[in-house]
Amino acid sequence: MRVGVTGVSSDLGRGLLPRLEADPLVDSIVAFDVALPPALTKKCSFVRVDLTRPGLEAELTRAFKEQKLDALFHLAFVNSRVHGAAFAHELEVIGSMHVLAAAQEIGLSRLIIPSLTALYGARPDGPAVCLETHPLEGDGVRFVTDRVEVEHQIEKFAKRNPDVHVVVLRFAPIVGKTADNPFTRLLRTGFVPTILGFDPLWQVVHEDDAVAALHLALTTRARGSFNVVGPTAAPFSTIVRLSGARAVPLPGPLLRATILALETAGIASVPVPLLSFLRYSWVADGQRARKQLGFEPRVSFQDAMASMRERRT
């Protein structure tokens, strides 16, 4: 296979490259990114692409054709860096439109895209466990609604192109010593504000398991959406404690004031529109990934959270 990867410098991209390098089915890897990654593997070549640039579609189509891709991992999403909402929208929504248009034009065989279980939302009347068929309701905050819009694009693309093997992996919050996303940045502050009287069930998945699921998607016969979650759900307070941080329960109005103060100080916190995730449980069913994708989390819940205590490299 000739395998393309956008967003190769992302957490998932950096973890995936060594697995693709070691895979005997992969002859070559093409990294599409805005800047040369710090370390490329022996099988890997680089093509500069800025997915936020207007009029990119023709150039991207030409690049995909020249590289003769068999499969593409589209990983160019804003998780590991802090950017403005406008930039995130351009990269994720508009950038994904360019990728899907180019994939359709060249007749790509397989497309693999990461997503989030957070897109199901957290509500008092929500299901105890969300299946992949549950509506993607989001929670009104920009980074969630952008990802919902991308999933709607993918759904339309898959219907228009039934010959393209499309796999969407909806990840629980990813943790690990090198994981850098809004959730891990919050835990690493050491003090996590929570809502007094609420302790919802959460799930996480270790970064090594997340990358393993991506690698499985390269050869699976199954297609569609899959929830990729760790081996168990746990109260949010337990997740915080095992990470080495401390939960600080606050009444709702005081919590909002605290969040605004943390944001003003430039300290990671939970955006106010996402407070529903600190009130109501949000648990996704991982059976489809286990049965059809062959994914089985290897890192225990305790070890996954303990890895957050290790120094990030």
Query: Distances from the Cα of 93 to the Cαs of 171, 224, 231, in angstroms?
Result: 18, 19, 31
pLDDT at residue 140 in the model: 66
**Residues 211, 220: Cα–Cα separation, whole Å:** 15
Percent of the chain at pLDDT above 70?
94
**Residues 118, 172: Cα–Cα separation, whole Å:** 7
pLDDT tens digit sequence for 183-192: 898 899 888 8
Torsion of CA 51, 52, 53, 57, to 10 degrees: 40
Reduce the DSSP state of residue 268 to 3 states and report it: coil
Strands (E), the chain: 2-6, 28-33, 44-48, 71-74, 110-116, 165-171, 174-175, 191-195, 201-202, 205-206, 224-228, 234-235, 246-250
Which helix or strand (DSSP H or E) is residue 24 part of?
Answer: none
**Residues 99, 60: Cα–Cα separation, whole Å:** 7
**Residues 148, 151: Cα–Cα separation, whole Å:** 5
Domains of the chain in sequence order: 2-176+204-230+284-295 (3.40.50.720)
pLDDT tens digit sequence for 191-221: 888 999 999 999 999 999 999 999 999 999 9
pLDDT tens digit sequence for 43-91: 999 999 999 888 888 999 999 999 999 999 999 998 644 456 777 788 8
